[in-house]
Structure 1
Amino acid sequence: MNQERIVDSARTFESIVIIFNPNSTGDAPELAQQLHDKLKSLLTYQPEIILQPTEHAGHAVDLAREAAAKGGDVLVVSVSGDGGYNEVVNGVMQAGNPRAVCAVRAAGNANDHSRITASKPLEEAIAEGRVHSIDLLRIHTGQKDHEPLEYAHSYIGFGLTPVVATELEKGSKGALKEMVTVIQTFSKFEPFAIRLEDGKRHKFDSLVFANIPEMAKYATLSEADNLPKDGKFEVIVFPHMPKWRVLLTALRATTQGLGDQPSVSSYEFTTLKPLPYQMDGEVKRVEANVTVKVESAPLALPIIG
């Protein structure tokens, strides 16, 4: 997408659209209202500030696209976890408005992006109007020319990551129940195979493309800088190995981190069977015999945070 992106500029906004899930298991409605009220009293100018509840899964994509497509200086705020913010980011990217800016107010089970990128309370950052652009991950999974590409703000994972996420979504939230689910899922997990650019078939337990150095609240994936601004992303590979070694590697990620990881601007492979994958907490699926390409979209998203 060849658009002029605004970097490191102080901005005011004609409109601020706050998108949230009114049926969130967390406190998204309350946090959205608090942000609305604080902005009303804090801002020295008077933009239109709109509270926009979602009505169904995927609705945030439509709402964000519609808000950004109106043109002008618009700020689209997601009051959500990583998955809800993923929808808002994709909606804004589909709108094609280079003056549109995104922000996230953490209100979910996993808030990796907000935790890594936020430097101050969101209402203060909005009042200061300091906008900077970050890289996104862009994934090609066989979309037609008229179909939008998909973007991730934090990570894309194949293998164990989406399988565990799918099982977590089926069950109840809560640290103990989540731990039990992870253990049960891991005990039944099978590796997956893909064909890399060398033409050979490779078997993996996990393959993660990371735009930020942490994920899943606890795991440190790499030693990368906090803000993704270098046009590259890290590739964290767990080749197929005995499960005890996978557990040790996962434990190292949650305690001391995995250390330096390969950094690339693109990565390509071909699926051999249908595969689930996870983007910022949202589980999706790619069919068999599809060439998948993950690439950095440098400085593609203007944000406040």
Structure 2
Amino acid sequence: MRALLVVNPSATTTSARTRDVLVHALASDLKLEVATTEYRGHARDLARAAAESGNTELVVALGGDGTVNEVVNGLLHRGPDPEGLPRLAVVPGGSTNVFARALGLPNDAVEATGALLDALREDSGRTIGLGHAAGTPGTEDEGVPGRWFTFCAGFGFDAGVVGRVEQQRERGKRSTHSLYVRQFMRQFLGESNRRHGTITLERPGEEPLANLVLSIICNTSPWTYFGNRPIYALPKASFDTALDVLGLTRLSTLTAGHYISQLLTSSPERGPEGRHAVSLHDQDSFTLHSQAPLPFQMDGDHLGLRTSVTFTGVRRALRVIV
């Protein structure tokens, strides 16, 4: 099988020596080409070229969720075509690796490589659904290019936290869970619209849901991890359905403490609930509007400010090796 291995050399949990071992192991079973990313967006460009070449059967992403997201967007540059596109495989190399872990892969890169080789020998895989987000027609964000996401997106508060973390990483800070906690607190203390949300959710044939302070969109569950603890913001979210949405209409100190406690004790059976929480399951299409520009993130990648984003859940979008 002809395969392309896309390596992020800045992956936080894999050393150069570990990467060499993984490359050697994969090359023993595959006709392997190795490409190392050199700039933001390079993984997307490499995956797109592989998909357009017509002779690559598998693209392996070695890195964190950001690398995986870029590879997915490169593969799906012209839209989903599960039978006509290379399959995707993931070897986790980031600090959290939500997508890989949601697929049931080990969080250790060496163990995940072994599981990948076993899956290839057994021709084991599945076709998963993905989320897509784009600027809304008729708004100032109309021209924003569409982009795919694998496990989550956020519009508002959580995206602001992601943006703060990225700023710290650009200053040389390591991506750790304590860094996220610190930036969460700074975002919370600096947020001026915690009591009066500016987000409205619109979906075909339904009454709008207004005054949301934050909105989390999930394509699978768990939403993220706190250390090794999975966090289930939307327990019913699945790669086999469309998108799930969690919105909060209030984020005072009291309600924030309540919902954080629920998140930390969440399970596959139960996520956050209460009179300030709105949960929607298996949504094919919806739009989030804001009265003022808000931060926007996809798969942990901060994408700047938006006033309106249209989301689509696409079932059976991509084949993955698991």
| Structure 2 length-normalised TM | 0.79
2:4–2:56 contact (8 Å) kept in structure 1? no
Q: Name the CA shift for 1:147/1:128 in 2 (closer, same or farther; >3 Å).
A: farther
Deviation at 1:30, TM superposition (A): 4.2
In structure 2, the residue matched to 1:86 is: 69
In structure 1, the residue matched to 2:87 is: 101
1:296 partnered with 2:296: no
1:28–1:107 contact (8 Å) kept in structure 2? no
Cα distance in 2, alignment partners of residues 22 and 73 from structure 1: 22
In structure 2, the residue matched to 1:161 is: 158
Deviation at 1:286, TM superposition (A): 4.8
2:221–2:232 contact (8 Å) kept in structure 1? yes
Cα distance in 1, alignment partners of residues 118 and 209 from structure 2: 51
For structure 2, the residue ranges without an aligned partner over 5 or more in a row are 106-111, 274-278
Q: Name the CA shift for 1:57/1:130 in 2 (closer, same or farther; >3 Å).
A: same
Deviation at 1:109, TM superposition (A): 1.4
Deviation at 1:104, TM superposition (A): 1.2
In structure 1, the residue matched to 2:190 is: 188
- Percent identity among equivalent residues? 23
Q: Name the CA shift for 1:29/1:139 in 2 (closer, same or farther; >3 Å).
A: farther
SS in 2 for 1:297: strand
1:134–1:301 contact (8 Å) kept in structure 2? yes
Cα distance in 1, alignment partners of residues 280 and 34 from structure 2: 41
Cα distance in 2, alignment partners of residues 50 and 146 from structure 1: 35
Moved more, 150-159 or 140-149: 140-149
1:223 partnered with 2:223: no
Which amino acid is 2:249 matched to?
P
1:211–1:234 contact (8 Å) kept in structure 2? yes
Deviation string 1:65-111 (CA, Å, 9 cap, x unpaired) is: 01111014521111111111111100000155623111211111121
Deviation string 1:227-248 (CA, Å, 9 cap, x unpaired) is: 5113x22111111231321232
Cα distance in 1, alignment partners of residues 143 and 178 from structure 2: 44
CA RMSD across the alignment: 2.7
Cα distance in 2, alignment partners of residues 196 and 165 from structure 1: 22
1:204–1:238 contact (8 Å) kept in structure 2? yes
Q: Name the CA shift for 1:149/1:115 in 2 (closer, same or farther; >3 Å).
A: same
In structure 1, the residue matched to 2:48 is: 65
1:270 partnered with 2:289: yes
Between the two proteins, the alignment pairs up a number of residues equal to 284
1:35–1:123 contact (8 Å) kept in structure 2? no
Cα distance in 2, alignment partners of residues 229 and 300 from structure 1: 10
Moved more, 241-250 or 21-30: 21-30
Match of 1:212 among 186, 210, 220: 220
Cα distance in 1, alignment partners of residues 97 and 157 from structure 2: 20
> 1:20-39 maps to which residues of 2 (within 5 A)?
20-27=7-14, 29-39=16-26
Q: Name the CA shift for 1:286/1:169 in 2 (closer, same or farther; >3 Å).
A: closer
Which amino acid is 1:272 matched to?
Q
Deviation at 1:26, TM superposition (A): 3.0
Moved more, 22-31 or 133-142: 22-31
In structure 2, the residue matched to 1:138 is: 132
Deviation at 1:221, TM superposition (A): 1.6
Deviation at 1:201, TM superposition (A): 8.0
| Structure 1 length-normalised TM | 0.83
